[in-house]
Amino acid sequence: MNFTDFYMQLTLVAFLVIFAVVRRHSRVAMMMYVLAFNLYFAYRLNGMQMWLLPLTACLNYALVQEMSLREGRARRLLLWAVVAADIGALAYFKYTTFIFDDVIGKMIGSNFSLHSVVMPVGVSFYTFQAVSYAVDVYRRRFTMEVRLLEYLFYLTFFPLLLAGPITRACNLLPQLRRNSPASGRMVWTGLWLLMLGMLKKFVVADYIAQFNNWVFDAPQSFSGFENMAAFLGYPVQIYLDFSGYSDMSIGVAAMLGFMLPDNFRFPYRSLSLTEFWRRWHISLSTWFRDYLYIPLGGNRKGTLRMYLNNFVTMLVAGLWHGASWMFVIWGALHGIGLAIHKFFSRQLGLRLPNNVAGNALSWLLTYAYVCVAWTFFRATDVGCVVTMYARIATDLSMDYLVPFVCARPVWTLLVAVSMLTYLVPERQYTRMQMRFICLPWAVKFVSFLVLAQLAVQMSSENVQPFIYANF
């Protein structure tokens, strides 16, 4: 779905106007109206597969309701039934082709190929929200009595449907129950986040993606310098792409009166891999912490078990991103990196000095490791990564710098400026947001129109799908 499409923009504006009117009259009518729009949004994404969404939601609701009334073994069995149904459906859509073609087919040396299974867009995020709700009810961490209409609203809420962020029931459902209209501050904060997301995604990330795609699709056709440029450009692209969607999602929700937690917090300023995962895709990393890492034992069962739990969690996180050995390698790299960091910092007590030089080296090591891992995330196969690094090792010359900048001045400028934003203090970002909120409404409106037109002009011919919509 293209959010720069004029029809989609007009539809969203009309939705917001009608929503504001309906909400004042009846909470039930508001939920039914939003649910209808959620299903329309799902239809635009997935066609007739959208019916899987309400059907599985009703099944989940019935099982969780029954589970909440039980104790002991019956309660555990019902929880496992919910989790098995949700994860089983996700595994079918996401991994059937991979298992039969890439695993079983190669093990038996056959060219057997299963007919491709079409995965509904957003199924991973929807599934994780359903599982978190069931587990939280089982653990009695979420005890609010939820009606079916409220549950359907929660699982199908359209700002979250495409690519999250993964939102817990304890965050969204109490706000839904209160039915408080969006304050002026929430509306303008939402507009700020919507504009910021459009700038990140449609103006910067999509433009950077064009060159990155050329290089990653055929690294042997480009010089070592150009391969290095793509190596540095892709981390910028994926951050702006995904954080841009998260900003828009959180912004639209705020304009509807729902405050969602941040999903990114300046991840490329991290001084360790552990810190990176506290700042990157926060909703996913906390989900894996709470529903996989801690149940596996976390750090409560000894040092070696902690390392193993970290590795397994990141391996599963990699596989969650897609049915490909490249995602498995990406997850394994992060699992190994986390184990190494914990070994040196916890077991050996070795830390770089907390000064400018020490922090700079910590940042450089962390950022370089994350960038190396991203190449496996983006490349189609290991051969592509090997070719890319071989070109960098054998054909990297600074003589290409001036010709490259002259040939791609806009790409170079966007990547350089984006990387310089890593240095912007978080408090400065907050001040910029507050200054925008305090501007006259006419200035904010004109700023939005100018940015929307810029996004349309820059993305009209090269709109890239949201990267995380594929997961």
Residues carrying an active site annotation: 321
**Cβ-contact 42, 57 below 8 angstroms:** no
Give CA–CA dist 83/285, Å, rounded. Answer: 19
Amino acid letter, 406: C
Residues 119-158 as b/e (b if ≥16 CB within 10 A, e otherwise) read bbbbbbbbbbbbbbbbbbbbeeebeeebeeebbbbbbbbb
